Amino acid sequence: MLAGMGRLEIKPSEHAALVDGRPLSLTVRELQLLVTLSEHPQRIMTRDELFAQVWGGRPRSDDRSVDVYVSRLRAKLGEAIPEAELIHTHNGIGYRFSPDD
C-alpha cells in the first residue's frame, strides 16, 4: 500500500502542494525544493543538483542550505502525512524523493 503518496499532489503552476486537496503552507523555497525533488522520483539527487535547481549556481563548499530546507520540508510534510517517509537521505551523496514506500 502506498503510504501517503497519492494523497500528495504537487502543482508548481499553482504555487501549491496539496495533501488531500488542501494546500500545505510552504514557503517559496520549500516548494521549489519539493518540486525539484518530486520531478525526479526515486532518483538520488546531490546537494549540488538541488542547490542549482532551487537557488541557482553552486553552493559554497560548507553551505548547509539544502539540508536545512530538507529538514523544514520534512517537518511540514510529516505533519500533514505522518505515516509517509517521502524524502530519504543518502549518506555522503544527497537526497531521494520516494512517493511510494
For residue 97, give the 3-state DSSP assignment.
strand
Q: At closest approach, how far in Å is the CB of 45 from a second copy?
A: 9
Q: For residues 63-92, which are near a second copy according to CB under 8 A?
A: 88, 90-92
Angle between helix 65-80 and helix 28-38 axes, rounded to 10 deg: 90
> Contact between 15 and a second copy (CB under 8 A)?
yes
14 binds, among a second copy, DNA, none (CB under 5 to 8 A by kind): a second copy
Of 2, 25, 71, 85, which lies in the binding site for a second copy, with binding defined by CB under 8 A? 25
Can you say whether the dihedral through the CA atoms of 59, 70, 85, 8 is positive or negative?
negative
